[in-house]
Amino acid sequence: MPLVATGEIVEPAVRAGLGAGAFNVIQIEHAQAIVAGAEAAGAPVILQISENAVRYHGALAGIGRAAVEVAAAARVPVAVHLDHATEPALVREAVGLGFGSVMFDASALDYEANMAATAEVTADCHAQGVWVEAELGEVGGKDGVHAPGARTDPAEAAAYVAATGVDALAVAVGTSHAMVVKEAVVDLGLVAALRAAVPVPLVLHGSSGVPEADLTRAVEAGLTKVNIATHLNIAYTRAIRDHLAAHPEVVDPRRYVAKGRDAVAREVARLLPLLRAVAP
């Protein structure tokens, strides 16, 4: 399967009432594992690289090119997405590397400034055929401070989408980034109201803190693109810790990192059906 545009995964999912799994890549092993899990599930998938991951690597080019190459070699449709970019220059770099979509995050700005900045980035991306996600109603946890009480107003969201021209909207419906316990409560009534008001796909950030049955309900209520990062990091780290605890003599990273990679692949294969990313 060739590398595909993100819209080729998300938009058919919206029409079919399905979900689209989007998983964050920190190292190349994450990209390999996510694709392996998607192949096992027989589902399309989105690889995401966040601005925080770019900061970890010191640049986008290395990990970005690696993710694009892994995606291009997959046996299922795979898109590559830039997650939570706050700088237009980083967006332009991702577009140049072949990313199919970007999430421009101006949610820390007031409504008018957010709208103006996002509209400008969206116009630039659309001129190059790149799909754009934005956020309205800041989802907490990006700075380590959880704020599950934030909510996106449906009328404001509809006006924002009309003014900016974005292709998808990340909404605040009760989740928070980087949660390590599954205590988030998704406001399913608000999800349904947003789905009725907003003409583009809705995106759930902070999904790792949501009980798994509620992830399925959230997709059924109208969310489409479901972002998962921390949950996979937990699985990856636990597998490596367990292997090193059982084999303290091991010093070759290939031996223990492979355990983390395998654990992530299994979790992706298990999660995609829960997200209704595989047609029933």
**pTM for the predicted model, two decimal places:** 0.92
The letter for the amino acid at 19 is G
- Per-position b or e across 87-111, b if 16+ CB within 10 A of its CB: ebebbbbbbebbbbbbbbbbbeeeb
- pLDDT of residue 251 exceeding 50, the answer is yes
pLDDT in tens, 102-119: 999 998 888 899 999 999
pLDDT in tens, 12-68: 999 999 999 999 999 999 999 999 999 999 999 999 999 999 999 999 999 999 999
Listed residue (264, 256, 249) closest to 33, CA to CA: 264
Q: Specify the pLDDT at position 142.
A: 46
Distance between first and last Cα of the chain: 22
- pLDDT of residue 138 exceeding 70, the answer is no
Q: Specify the pLDDT at position 212.
A: 87
Listed residue (61, 65, 71) closest to 23, CA to CA: 71
Q: Specify the pLDDT at position 145.
A: 39
Q: pLDDT grade, residue 139 (50/70/90)? A: low
Residues of the chain with pLDDT > 70, as a percent, come to 91
Q: Domains in the chain and their CATH numbers?
A: 6-275 (3.20.20.70)
Distance CA 186, CA 104 (A): 23
Spatial contact of 94 and 64, defined as CB atoms under 8 Å apart: yes
Active site residue 252: no
Distances (CA, A) of 59 to 8, 86, 101, 102: 27, 15, 18, 16
Spatial contact of 139 and 203, defined as CB atoms under 8 Å apart: no
- pLDDT of residue 167 exceeding 50, the answer is yes
Question: Which residue, chain included where needed, has tokens 């209704």?
Answer: 276
Q: Specify the pLDDT at position 271.
A: 97
Q: Please, how many CA atoms are within 13 Å of residue 83, restricted to the half-sphere of its CB?
A: 28
Spatial contact of 48 and 81, defined as CB atoms under 8 Å apart: yes
Q: Give the least confident one: 45-54, 132-141, 208-217.
A: 132-141
pLDDT in tens, 221-230: 999 999 999 9
Spatial contact of 173 and 217, defined as CB atoms under 8 Å apart: no
- pLDDT of residue 180 exceeding 70, the answer is no
Residues of the chain with pLDDT > 90, as a percent, come to 81
| Catalytic-role residue among 83, 105, 187, 214 | 83
- pLDDT of residue 76 exceeding 90, the answer is yes
Q: Specify the pLDDT at position 202.
A: 97
Distances (CA, A) of 246 to 170, 228, 234, 277: 41, 28, 18, 35
Q: Specify the pLDDT at position 178.
A: 47
Q: pLDDT grade, residue 179 (50/70/90)? A: very low
- More reliable by pLDDT, 90 or 213: 90
